[in-house]
Every structure is written in structure tokens, then in C-alpha cells.
A and B are shown apart, each in its own frame.
Chain A
Amino acid sequence: MSGQIIATGRSAAGMPTGKLAVWMVIASEIPIFGGILAPYLMHRIGHPDWGQMAASLNVWIGTFNTGLLVTSSLFAMLAHAAAERGNGPLAAARLRLAAYGGLIFLCVKAYEWYTKIAHDHVPQTGTFYGYYFSATGLHGIHILAGVAILLAIAAQAEKGKNLGRVELIGIYWHFVDVVWFFLFHIFYIIR
């Protein structure tokens, strides 16, 4: 590629370009999740019978996963703190811990899906499960992408490169965490 782009280095709005872009990504993700959750809530009100299907979700597994993501987010925050001090290897180690949290989350989620499918609680048998699977599936894809980026940035941070990106992935990771908060409450808690 040709030389460094001047435009990328500018920050006329007073915020580094990468950070601004991460916020924009989040701003465009919110309506996507909103597009699933808002219709779900609308229809949930009109279908009291969905309560029974919601009851089949395991709140304890959901709570465990919530705790997992909160811990993972905490490590992302600590990684940022380390990166601020210029400690690349420490930041990398903490990012990896955050990524492992995401991976365990996915494993738990896969187990949960498996039990649902084993009980024939699949999207084809009830629209509630349609919403449940698409919302958690979409969220799962975000976790997966987040884990991949976390590991990639950890590899860079290990060598002390691009430490600024540690904060960026942290922002994204917190966002995914917050989305899970909403999913957890809307699907697991509200009966």
C-alpha cells in the first residue's frame, strides 16, 4: 500500500479516528438489535402464552453467563489500564483472559442451545424460540467476532504495537456485554 494516509491521522472532531469509528459501529449496531428486540417485546405483550416458553429457559445458566461477561469486560478494562501505562505484555494477557471469558460464554451458550433443540424447542415450533434463537445467535456472532479481534489485538499488544487499539476493542466488548444485559432481562427474567 502507498504511504501513510494523512486523513487517518487527523482528529478535527477532537477524538481519535479509530475511537470515533468504533462508536459509529456501535451506533449502527444498536438499531440492528433494536430491530429484533422491539418487535419481540411488542409481540410478547400480545402473546401471554409465550411466558411458558420463556419459563423453559434456564435462569441460572443465564446468570452464570452474565457474570462471565461482566468479568470479561472487567479484564478488558484492566487491559486498557495496562495499555495506558504502556505495558503491552500485561495488556495482552488481560485481553486474552477477556477473550477466554467470551469463549466460555459461547460454550455455555452452545450447551443451552443444544438442550433447547433436544427438547424440540426450535424456531419452527414457536415464534418465541424464533426470537430467542435469532437474538442470542446474533449476539453470539458478535461475541465470536469480539473474541477473534481480542486475540488479534492481544498478539499485537504483546509486541507493544498499536496499544491504542486495546481501548477500542474494550469499548466494543463493553457494548456486547450491555447487549447481553438486555437479552438476559428480556428473555430470561421477564416471564
Chain B
Amino acid sequence: MKKWIVGATLTCSALVGSLCQAHTFGAEYMTDWGGCECNADPLSYTDDEINYFAERMRARGHSQQFLWGNSDVWASDMTEDRDFGGADHTQADRVEFFALASHGAVESSGPQYYLSPTCRAMGTESCIFSSKNARFGDRAGYYSSPNPGSVRFLMLLTCNSVDVNPIDAWGSSMYQGQDVVMGYRGLSADSFAIDEVAGDFVDAAYGDWDTLKAAWFWAIEDSFWVDDTGAILMSGTTQSDAELRRDKYSMIFRSRTPTVTHNWFAWAWHQG
């Protein structure tokens, strides 16, 4: 990541006036599984991705709640507290925007749940986080008690995070809470070529007010040559509602009404 000269962090309202949406955010990365319960090949650029993301978020007046790396990244951080033994309400699900850069995969058989190896299980069934056990942003309904969640925006800078069957992976989590998942279809790269993707998303989504779809595809535009395939998933009450949100949703949208459930999903990706 570059050494940008970034001005002092300002309050969001001072920066962009009435359009401004100041969000809380947290982020995690894995570069090294040494000493962890899970084992995986090391990564070299995931820390750069997250640090640049956090830098651009802070520069735009958003409030960093945590930034964990390696031994402090646990499956419980992203796993629902109710019924699944997680503690997401103390970590990923206590912020509006959560980003993770690490390895990712999908179940090889059965429903295509998303998987990501963390360092420790910490009370969950495995050190491998599974989206089967995620309920992000639950502010009403069964999983909101005793601990409601906050996540609206989920950015997963890993392989397979919005894959061929994203409803399998994220349908349960988006049923009553989070607004969007941004990630990759198939493999993603660990490379100098991708270290600015998450930061460029922040500038397009918060600085230029692109739709989230446009901001995400814009961010990945500089790395399509390494065959990275970006993808984004939204949800809605009906098919047309889900499609409208996919095609129009930007950071000026308000969060969902907590009691409204989403059973329809709309997603986008590129190929070639």
C-alpha cells in the first residue's frame, strides 16, 4: 500500500454535508496461520488490502472500531451468538461495515456455504468460519435477541465469497439484516495487483456516490487482467425489489426496516 499523505480525520458531516453517511467499521485479515488451530498457506497482501481500506474509511470520517490480524482473528468473530456459539455481537456484527481479507472457499458438496479459515474456533464448531452459522445485521426477529447485530455491508476479500450459488451461502444471513455482500466469484489473487481494491471501493462508494455495484466493479476494474472476478449480492422482499436494490443501492440508502424479511436475492458478476 502506498504512503498517501492523508489529511487529519474529519467528522463525516464536515466532509460531504447532507449526503454523508458515517459508518462504524471493523476489519480483519489473515496473512499467517502459524500457531493457529487452522492451517493454511500464508498470504502476503491481505494486510495491505485491509490497512488501505481502513485508511480510506478513516480518511472519510468513518469510525474504526477494530482491526484484527492473524492470531486475533477467530471464527467466533463472525459466528452468530444465538444457537451457534459465536460472539459476532462483540466483533464483526457490532459494526455497520465489516471487511475480511483471507482465504475463502465453498462447501464441495451440499449447499454452497462459504468457508474461511481463521486462527481459532473460540467456542464455535470449528476454526473454519462457515456462513451457515452467520446471521449478520439482525436487528429484529429470532436472532436479534439477546444481542442484535449491526452489519449492513460485508466485504469479503477472499476466493469464492459470492460464488455460483450465493443464496446458499448468504440467504439465511440476509433474511433479516445485512444489505450486501461484496466479494469474488471463483479464485481471487494474492498480489501487488489487488492491494488497492478495497480502498478504491471506499472512494467510489463514499466519495463519488456510485451505486455499490458500480463502486465494487470499479474497484476491481484495475485487476481484471489477473482474472479476478468480482461479484455482489443484494436481497429484497420480491424479485423486483432485490433487483432494484442491486442496481440502485448506494451509500445514501437507509438501512433496511428491521422487521422486513428478504426472501429474494439479486446478484451480479463478470466473466471473460
Q: Is this pair of chains taken from one and the same complex?
A: no
B residues with a Cβ closer than 8 A to A are none
